[in-house]
């Protein structure tokens, strides 16, 4: 992966974490045990520290940055969807920030909360634990049900599994010119969208 020291400060990646080879880590970045960092994610620890605690996942094209003397932190099992931007904020344990959401400076996403896709959480905002927020600016829609909290945790566990799968089998290859006659099947765990779980 592109990994850069800045002024002698070198990123730290736990051996049990998976950081995709196209992700970029600069300076004061700490990626903890069992974390997943997806393709083209940018973790710029060139002003303030960035911390991903155990089991956190940061998906494709996410951007994480902050101001000097601030820590941008994703706590244990924090789940950051594709294309999200985090700047100088805190995402508490087991919270989810949806795809293309933006969370600004000194905002705090409470434990087990969900920030909806494309939401904008303004600087200094406090999202209460176990709530759903959405919109621009993000506002509380309602409290989360036990089933929704459990669904989020199941989704995060699929990223724990993906971390292990990537560490064990991900290799760069040349593409085939056509599919094999008997194509292998991916060994992903069964996970359903929230809508699919409601239909069941």
pLDDT at 200: 63
Specify the pLDDT at position 1: 75
Location of structure tokens 């060994």: 187
Distances (CA, A) of 58 to 79, 85, 109, 142, 180: 7, 10, 15, 25, 32
pLDDT of 187 reads 84
Contact predicate 63/101, CB 8 Å:
no
Question: Mean pLDDT score of the chain, rounded to an integer?
Answer: 95
H-assigned helices in the chain: 146-169, 194-199
Write out residues in the chain with pLDDT < 70, as ranges: 194-195, 197-200
Q: What is the pLDDT at residue 84?
A: 98
Would you say 112 and 133 are in contact if contact means Cβ atoms under 8 Å apart? no
Alpha carbons 100 and 189: distance in angstroms, whole number: 25
User: How many degrees, rounded to 5, is the angle at CA 62 between CA 96 and CA 141?
Assistant: 30
Q: Tokens for 147?
A: 């089933």
Read off the pTM. 0.93
CATH numeric code, 3-143 = 2.160.10.10
- Domain-wise residue ranges, the chain: 3-143
The residue assigned the tokens 């956190």 is 56
Q: What is the pLDDT of residue 197?
A: 67
pLDDT of 63-121, one tens digit each? 999 999 899 999 999 999 999 999 999 999 999 999 999 999 999 999 999 999 999 99
């Amino acid at each position: 992966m592109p990994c850069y020291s800045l002024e002698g400060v070198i990123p730290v990646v736990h051996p049990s974490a998976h950081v995709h080879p196209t992700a970029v880590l600069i300076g004061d970045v700490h990626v903890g045990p069992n974390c997943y960092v997806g393709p083209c994610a940018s973790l710029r620890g060139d002003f303030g520290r960035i911390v991903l605690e155990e089991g956190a996942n940061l998906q494709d094209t996410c951007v994480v940055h902050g101001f000097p003397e601030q820590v941008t932190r994703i706590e244990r099992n924090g789940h950051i969807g594709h294309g999200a931007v985090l700047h100088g904020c805190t995402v508490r344990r087991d919270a989810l920030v949806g795809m293309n959401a933006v969370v600004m400076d000194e905002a705090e996403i409470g434990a087990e909360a969900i920030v909806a896709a494309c939401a904008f959480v303004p600087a200094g905002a406090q999202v209460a634990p176990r709530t759903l927020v959405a919109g621009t600016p993000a506002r509380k829609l309602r409290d989360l049900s036990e089933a929704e909290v459990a669904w989020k945790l199941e989704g995060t566990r699929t990223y724990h599994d993906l971390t292990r799968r990537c560490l064990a089998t991900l290799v760069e290859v040349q593409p085939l010119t056509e599919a094999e006659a008997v194509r292998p099947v991916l060994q992903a765990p069964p996970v359903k969208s929230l809508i699919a779980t409601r239909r069941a």
